[in-house]
Amino acid sequence: MNTRLKQFLAAENISQSQFADTIKVVRASVSHVLAGRNNPSYDFIKAIMDNYPSLNIEWLMLGKGKMYKESSSGPMPTPATVSEQPSVEEEPNLFTYEEDDPPQIVEQKIQSSNEITTKDNTAQNNIKQRIVSKIIILYDDGTYQEM
């Protein structure tokens, strides 16, 4: 089957990577099938059938009949590639800054160090005084010591 698939690619004048992109499979799987390393899966064959309806699958799989179905007179134009598809509006880059509104300057009052110290002292006074009851020292050899 790999030789017939190569013949088909040559008749369609498309590369392995274009073929893989068209049938939406990993490029390596096309390479493995063409090299004879792997047999094509059902999904692989189904993707070929869906994207190339003029191709005679019996010819591709068994070598019987002609390359193209009787209703087709020759190579079918390849399906639209990614570059030929209508362009979709690009999504913004996550790392660029979009300026919808100009940045506004926000003025903030800077607290003096006295105010900060007063707030810290007040917070410390509200905390209940605690007393250490036990200290455990852990050593790297797995032992410990309680104090």
Task: Indicate whether 116 belongs to any domain.
Answer: no
Task: Indicate whether 32 belongs to any domain.
Answer: yes
**Residue 27 belongs to domain spanning:** 2-76
Task: Indicate whether 104 belongs to any domain.
Answer: no
Q: What CATH code is carried by the domain that includes residue 19?
A: 1.10.260.40
Residue 123 to residue 70: CA distance in whole angstroms: 89
Number of domains in the chain: 1
Is it the case that residue 119 has pLDDT exceeding 70?
A: no
Task: Indicate whether 17 belongs to any domain.
Answer: yes
Is it the case that residue 81 has pLDDT exceeding 50?
A: no
Task: Report pLDDT for 82.
Answer: 47
Q: Please provide residue 59's backbone torsions phi and psi, each rounded to the nearest 5 degrees.
A: -65, -45
Average pLDDT for residues 28-34, to the nearest whole number? 87
Q: How far is CA 145 from CA 131, 135, 141, in A?
A: 19, 8, 12
Q: How confident is the model at residue 122 (pLDDT cuts 50, 70, 90)?
A: low
Task: Report pLDDT for 143.
Answer: 92
Task: Indicate whether 25 belongs to any domain.
Answer: yes
